[in-house]
Amino acid sequence: MTESMTTTKRSRIATMATLALWTADLALLGLVLMLPVIWVWEHFLFEIGPFRGRLSWNWKPMVALVAFCVARVALKRWLAATAPPRRRAPWDHPAVRRIGLAVGSVLLFFLGFEAVLTWRGFEGTLPPIVIQGADEGTEWSRAHIPDRELLWRFAPGHEFRGRMVNNLGFLDRPVDPEKKPGSVRVICMGDSCTAQGIPPYSGFLHQLFTEAPPDEREWEAFNMAVHGYSSSQGLRLFLREGRALRPDYVTIFYGWNDHWLGHRPDSSRMAMAVPAFAKDLMEGLKQKRFFQWMVRQATRERGVTRAKDGLGPRVPHEEYRWNLHAFARAVRGVGGQPVFITAPRAEELTPLLLEKQANSLEETTRWHDEYIEITREVAEKEGALLLDLAAMFEGPAGAHYFSGDGIHFTRDGRKRIAREIYMLLAGTDEPPPVHLE
């Protein structure tokens, strides 16, 4: 009977030993698997009823890992001498050890990589992160609303320089977002060169389409340009809102604001929208130098890299080229045809450009001509339509098309642009016999 009781007692101890070792191993394995996530999320925000707080991990997970390992070794030795477990614990399985070793090796690699980048003083600038569909909506002025993805946008229903912002948020007549079946829709995108004027050249173009449609279909044109926008903002705007309007043609007119001087490229200032569940993860990754380095390598071809506080174009040359290629693909992706327009300039530009553009008017002119040439190259490579206004308005004969700054257009200039777009899309060499008001 004594021997039977002893056997029963050993059996209970062995069962408890197995349970204890399995618990310790599962906790250890869970901690190992969680370490990469814990490392990315350095801070944990919690809210329990009325209690809110922020927990910083710092060195705590590593201390916990060492403590688990020491406790596990001590427990294994004690159990081996007292009552060996009936089944192998998880950590004793080769497959589990391989998983733990793989995770640990990857984590050690990135820890080492992070340390090297920190030692070398590497630091990359990434855009802010926002939740998709969330926007602060606070007005800067009556006509402007800050938009973290686009930096700014017009406020529908407000007035800007004597013009009303329409229901879509642009300087044009009210537009029905729903495209009529069988109609042809032309969207004019760009900066103030496209948006300026009463009406802008899109308004004259719409009048031409209304009074002399190129075919039996109903044609319409409207403006989606915003003052001060670069090609980076225009591309984001089209991806976010323009695609849903189902355009047949999209005129793309950027350049001046792209080589405007700034401390950071627009692409690093424009927030990236992510689902709510991914926001904290992306915010954590943004703080890691290895992630900054990976993003920089992935976007190196776009040419956004420069000294942290060094002045440079809002959209560097290579990124401008990348944006235009992406624009063409995005327009074609919804069944539309991209139409690139080179941004013309007068022979003499206003000296006020020196404050924001470059160190001299000669440098401003050279930079702008380089962006014009990029527009031509992309249009050719993409097989897109090209309206080369820079060539058409060149020389003294085109001087009356420009306002005093040598960038924006007079009323005659806007009418000429509308007629040129019409002829390009209609495939004719003669403008329609329509008197533009």
Bridge-partner residues for 55, per DSSP? 44
Same domain, 236 and 357: yes
Domain termination residue (choose one: 119, 154, 185): 119
The tens place of each residue's pLDDT in the chain, 437 residues long, gives 455 546 666 667 667 767 777 777 777 777 666 766 666 666 555 556 666 655 555 556 667 767 777 777 777 777 666 666 556 666 666 776 677 677 667 666 666 666 665 666 655 555 543 334 445 444 445 677 888 889 899 989 888 888 899 999 999 999 999 999 999 999 999 999 999 999 999 999 999 999 999 999 999 999 999 999 999 999 999 999 999 999 999 999 999 999 888 888 888 887 765 554 444 555 555 556 655 556 555 554 455 554 444 678 899 999 999 999 999 999 999 999 999 999 998 877 766 665 566 666 777 788 889 999 999 999 999 999 999 999 999 988 888 999 888 889 999 999 999 999 999 999 999 888 888 87
State the residue range of the domain holding 322. 135-267+309-426
Q: Are 403 and 409 in contact (CB under 8 A)?
A: yes
Same domain, 144 and 110: no
Domain termination residue (choose one: 119, 150, 185): 119
Q: In this structure, is residue 303 part of a structural domain?
A: no
User: Residue 433 is inside which H or E element, if any?
Assistant: none
Q: In this structure, is residue 60 part of a structural domain?
A: yes
Same domain, 392 and 326: yes
Pairing mode of beta strands 272-274, 129-131 = parallel
Q: In this structure, is residue 238 part of a structural domain?
A: yes
Burial of 190 from C-beta contacts in 10 A (0-12 / 13-18 / 19+): buried
Q: In this structure, is residue 101 part of a structural domain?
A: yes
Same domain, 107 and 147: no
Task: Give per-residue burial for 367-406: e unless 16+ CB within 10 Å, then b.
Answer: bbeebbebbeebbeebebbbbbbbebbeeeebeebbeeeb
Q: Is 151 left (phi over 0), alpha (psi -120 to 50) or beta?
A: left
Domain termination residue (choose one: 66, 87, 119): 119
Residues 6+ apart with CB under 8 A from 210: 219, 220
Q: Tally the residues of the chain.
A: 437
Same domain, 93 and 150: no
CATH number at residue 361: 3.40.50.1110
Place of tokens 């069988």: 182
Same domain, 336 and 204: yes
Q: Dihedral of CA 361/362/363/365: which sign?
A: positive
Q: Are 294 and 301 in contact (CB under 8 A)?
A: no
Q: Are 353 and 397 in contact (CB under 8 A)?
A: no
- Tell me the pTM: 0.71
Instruction: Count structural domains, the chain.
Output: 2
Same domain, 113 and 154: no
Q: Are 88 and 55 in contact (CB under 8 A)?
A: no
